[in-house]
Amino acid sequence: MPGLALPGLALAAQLFSPLAAAQTSMMDEVDASLPALNGQTVASDEAAPVVDEDAALPSLPRLFALALQNDADLTSQRFEAEAAAQDVPMAQAALKPQIQASAGYVYQESDNYYTDNPSYNPDNELGGNDDYEARYQGTTRDQTWQVQLSQSLFSLERWRKVGKAEAQSDAAELKVAVGERDLALQVAEAYLDAFLASRKLGLLDSKQESLNLQVKQASRAYDLGVGNRIDLLEAQSRLDQAVADTVSAQNELDNALSLLERLTGELPRFSGATLGDLGELTLPGGWDDADPWLERTINNVEVALGKQQMKVADAETDVRRAGHYPELDLTVGYSDRDSNDPFRESKDASANLRLSVPLYEGGYTSASVRQGELSQQAAQASYTNALNLARQEVRQRLRGLRGDERQIEALKRSIESSNLFLQAAEKGEQLGLRDLVDVLDARADLYDLRIQFVEVVRQYLLDRLNLQAAVGDLGTQDLVDTMALLSRVTG
């Protein structure tokens, strides 16, 4: 910086004094204690890289498997799908024979022509008959057994209700698939948020550690008379800001872990905070041509659900139209009645054909059909909207991926340049050509660039997962690939 050249030259002469030698010795102590950046210390090429022996990441596919078992909302959707599937055998049952058996007992007291009529008195030798005893006394006791079989011979409405039930069952299963996809994205996003927060927290802890040493150095230099109060206040201000950023990062990590615990029933541990050589990170391409991706949006689960709901609406309208058609039913029965009155005893067999023709119901059937047709149009519009949203999502995610790739490449170059600039600033500070503020700025910029790099990687992975979801191809392998890339970032 040209404005700092003259003061720097003036301070250069002091490097040979005992006080300056003490300051230089402290600077060497600070440099040797700095945390690793890109696997190398920022101020000493001879220092060994810092390695975290417990830096393994939790398994993202395993967390998703736990979420599939633990998530209450998804469990509710599964039970609803199973309940909807029972509509199919219920609808089919209406087409099968219905057999009913019944038994009854009737006690009856009567006052009629036979009651107390001497002509029917069993004790009357002239006209009495034992068969009339029950009628003469006016009391009857009947036991009845009956079996009846009913069979629908023609009912278009009942046949079409089976197709409607099958369509509704398939739609319920697709709703579960949508829920599983949303859960996978939710778990993945919380996982990436936790990863980002843990790495950000580690970088901020390292930044805070180096700033603590810088504050000590600035305070020592100020006490020895070779520093100034401005450098001390600047170092303290940056330290306070780093502390505030650390608290914020800790809150972000706690929130992400809390969400993962709610979804999976398990609290994962994101140990380790080191990053690998970010300059070696390479990303797969293939995001330029949108047409192949747009063609695959037909496989999007929400699009498939919209298409299935169109089938449900079509089936419902067909059921309503069937209300215009007649129905033919067959009923076959057998009954056996035993009574204390022999004239009431009987054994009956019957067969009944019943044709029901709807002639006029006040316009109900026509209005019902019209309602179904409007529901069909609504389902068609919903399907079109789902398809448009899927295509918009694909275009948005492809733009995001292309932008993420460019940002990552730019940040890789920026981190490399910032690392070189930091080393130059520290050498210049030792020679009196740079002041402490320059070193603090360079070091803070390098930490911030690395944090920004991890943020862009997180967004890149999130965009890639959402792109796969938009074309209906999100699977366990995508979660494995996500972990593989994060492992390369952590080194």
The pLDDT of residue 223 is 84
Residue 101 lies in a domain: no
The pLDDT of residue 98 is 96
Residue 214 lies in a domain: yes
Domain count, the chain: 1
**198: containing domain:** 2-84+162-312+374-490
Residue 91 lies in a domain: no
Residue 149 lies in a domain: no
Residue 450 lies in a domain: yes
Residue 72 lies in a domain: yes
The pLDDT of residue 261 is 95
pLDDT digits (tens), the chain, 491 positions: 333 332 332 323 333 333 233 334 433 443 433 333 333 333 333 333 333 334 478 999 999 999 999 999 999 999 999 999 999 999 999 999 999 999 999 988 877 666 766 666 666 654 555 666 666 677 788 899 999 999 999 999 999 999 999 999 999 999 999 999 999 999 999 999 999 999 898 888 888 888 888 888 888 888 887 778 888 888 899 889 989 999 999 999 999 999 999 999 999 998 766 677 776 777 887 888 999 999 999 999 999 999 999 999 999 999 999 999 999 999 999 999 988 878 788 899 999 999 999 999 999 999 999 999 999 999 999 999 999 999 999 999 999 999 999 999 999 999 999 999 989 988 887 887 777 778 877 888 888 899 999 999 999 999 999 999 999 999 999 999 999 998 888 86
Residue 168 lies in a domain: yes
**CATH number of the domain to which 252 belongs:** 1.20.1600.10
Q: Model pTM?
A: 0.78
From the list 442, 463, 454, the residue with the least C-alpha distance to 491 is 454
The pLDDT of residue 136 is 66
Residue 324 lies in a domain: no
Q: How far apart are alpha carbons 390 and 467 in whole angstroms?
A: 9
The pLDDT of residue 30 is 36
